[in-house]
Structure 1
């Protein structure tokens, strides 16, 4: 991630993030409530230093159901304190005593019946409370960067978690496209890493042109809060007003079959970067991935900050599903 260009210039601070799990807190926002009836139960779970998929497996064992009966909307950071919802299908079964779940690092805080299994991606977003420790640097410049982020947002890069240890998922994707066999579950991670790599490269080029939060000719627009997109079309006063309101965002490619829908300058840039990563682009097309879009701009909602002491800075904000808190932090501090 360090090689990707910054929107706000060199970060004014250096700090330590995740000095303890409590310094990285995440709360999932589903955007809807349990309906109170049905053969599924929605569990509101707090985990500390635990992997989401591991928690799902342990919940299945505890409930005496197959792992496929457990659902969750999104993976959460392991080195953190996170609260999220899991669904467990209990067809014809009574609820176990969730308070006796046998892992100290996991607490079931609430359980409510529901009619459907949670699906991956079925959430509105996440709320974060992060603490930077051992902070050094220019506090006045940091205040300016935070003000800029609050107004302008940050480039919506995929975070380093997407690329595996030392970024190895991209090279593994290249090997897979070259013929190496991989397990089915790992295949989906490698496809995602390949798409994310091309997207980040397009976004980096747009940041270098100072065009990540403004359109290029031939732009495709992402609708805020959805996966829908439209364009290209002339940049009118109506579109300019919607851009200011954050109803729409410039977008970048999630590579797949066929050509990106962008045209003119935006299209030329995306095709140039696709050609520079031709093995990944061809592999994604061969895997029959569709051409999709992702916003280039990320606007943290309700961004707040306060100094806990001379060397500790707390940040809180909400992000939409699929966005990374670490790409907000990277504009402010090297961690």
Structure 2
């Protein structure tokens, strides 16, 4: 169902933005940099064929208005509508606009950002699609400093170093996916049914994960549970803490003294903030939806 469904005026700056993910997507009608209507559904790219997109967007226009459409995220991937080449880091808003793929009917897809691996030098190859809009939106809107460390929790957590308002470098950690796999089909599954909260068990897990002996630390969840040393209600929080503690400790070591700006909803972002603070860092929570709207609006202004 559409939220705030009044579509307002029909100014020349109005457009539709779609944040198209793997499992779901969100459509925004934006006017004057403000969201006047929005809708979320489960039509992510994993359930679509390339021939499905045009009809879905036509239906979006019937609901939200016959407007230009700017798409970010996995619709521009090899499993989406079409493969849009990445912009190479360091990348700012003009670099994204220069690599936009124009489709039919006033539709365009924003490229992601990539880093090429350099083998023995230690640099890893990495990619993002969709997160770049949030990162650059947070910078252009002043939500974060032009030079700052940003974290985007999720299935695949992104850690990005911003320099001069550009995405200078970034690292992806599959922290969320690992927890889902452990919870769904591992020797630990029977112990991980409870809710994850930033409680004392979670903080213990963070410190355990910071030892970076992750494989052994994770098995200790089972051992401690079997021996009765870890209450069933604490196991999921402890396990999540291990994964976040390993991830966070590396990033804090790489960027000592940096305040981490977390682009997330309060629940997941709160876990990362708790992990960062438990390991002596500082963190600020930023609304990821506001960052996306700021970024896609800035791209739209440069695109036209």
Structure number with higher helix proportion: 2
Task: Kindly indicate whether structure 1 or structure 2 has the higher relative contact order, using CA contacts under 8 Å at least 6 residues apart.
Answer: 1
The two structures have a TM-score, normalised by structure 2, of 0.29
TM-score (norm 1): 0.27
